[in-house]
Amino acid sequence: MTTTSPLRQPCPPGACDCGREQLLATAGSDLRILLLTRQEEKRLLDRLENLESLGDLEKMQRRLYEQLGIRLTVAPGFNEVRSMRGIAIHIDELPGLCRKTRQSIPTAIRRSLEKRPEIAYSLLNAHDLLRDA
């Protein structure tokens, strides 16, 4: 007897451009992203809002890729970084990833960086932006 994990419920018609139906219709496609149910998404966002360190952020980036296939990059932006908005947070396009989730993940990370600015400083230092400070 095998049990399957619950898949994310479809978004209302016309509300999202995630391509869930095409992903399900394609044979051999990576369905890991559909394991992110709304309840699991809330847990993920809560976890991202409460990061402890840069190492914790990097660990979450690895786990997002390993478990869901989400490629997340967090790096200083091209221009000056004067606030948390200057830090570029990018999620690669992924079929099945809901538009709202794609927007919520960077927002949660920015909240975490605002709560703990030392994470942002460590991120900047890791990219040699605070080398002479």
- The answer as to whether 98 is a domain residue is yes
Number of folded domains that form the chain:
1
118 confidence band (pLDDT: 50, 70, 90): very high
Question: What pLDDT shows up at residue 109?
Answer: 94
- The answer as to whether 133 is a domain residue is no
% of the chain exceeding 90 in pLDDT:
44
- The reported pTM is 0.84
Question: Which residue has better confidence, 17 or 47?
Answer: 47
Mean of all residue pLDDT scores within the chain: 85
Q: What does the pLDDT look like over 54-75, one tens digit per residue?
A: 999 999 999 999 999 999 999 8
**Domain interval for residue 96:** 40-126
Q: What is the amino acid identity at position 110?
A: R
Count of residues in the chain: 133
Tokens representing residue 22 in the block:
């095409």
- The answer as to whether 75 is a domain residue is yes
- The answer as to whether 18 is a domain residue is no
- DSSP H or E stretch at residue 76: strand 72-76
What Cα–Cα distance (Å) separates residue 131 from each residue in 78, 80, 83? 17, 15, 18
Question: What pLDDT shows up at residue 1?
Answer: 47
Question: Which residue has better confidence, 94 or 15?
Answer: 94
- The answer as to whether 90 is a domain residue is yes
H helices present in 1-133, as ranges: 20-25, 38-49, 54-68, 99-115, 117-126
20 confidence band (pLDDT: 50, 70, 90): confident
Residues near 127 by beta carbon (within 8 Å), at least 6 away in sequence: 75, 76
Residue 69 CB neighbour total at 10 angstroms? 18
Nearest CA to 47 among 34, 55, 56, 38?
56
- The answer as to whether 31 is a domain residue is no
Secondary structure (DSSP) of 83-106:
SGGGEEEEE---TT--HHHHHHHH
- The answer as to whether 60 is a domain residue is yes
Which residues on neighbouring strands pair with residue 72, listed in sequence order? 91
Q: What does the pLDDT look like over 84-117, one tens digit per residue?
A: 677 889 999 888 888 889 999 999 999 999 999 9
- The answer as to whether 48 is a domain residue is yes
